[in-house]
Amino acid sequence: MKISYYPGCTLKNKAKDLDEYARASAVALGFELGNHTHSHYDLTTLSEPILCDEIDRTDRALCAFDGKERHLLRAPFGKNNDFVTAAAPVPMIDW
């Protein structure tokens, strides 16, 4: 069974050491890390450059743990539309 972990907004959490431990542990256990954006904004309200920055910042942070440049994206609040799907530089999943 595959398990995905979407740390998302915890990347900016003040409990950084705990968050890093959780991500490293998830990778060690074989979990797939997923992108839930850096700031957890409603992606349908963002411009394309800001949307892409939210995704790219999280992908770079996750790459430090699993070595993957891109991660499956789950939009915050489940908010997605045609614009987000077209602008996102990564595959998306719905909850």
For the stretch 73-82, pLDDT in tens is 999 999 999 9
69/8: higher pLDDT? 69
Mean pLDDT of 31-42: 90
How many Cα neighbours within 13 Å face the side chain of 34?
A: 17
State yes or no: pLDDT of 92 exceeds 90: yes
32-33 and 4-5 strand pairing: parallel
Q: What is the pTM of this model?
A: 0.81
State yes or no: pLDDT of 25 exceeds 70: yes
Helix pair angle (16-28, 48-66), 10° resolution: 70
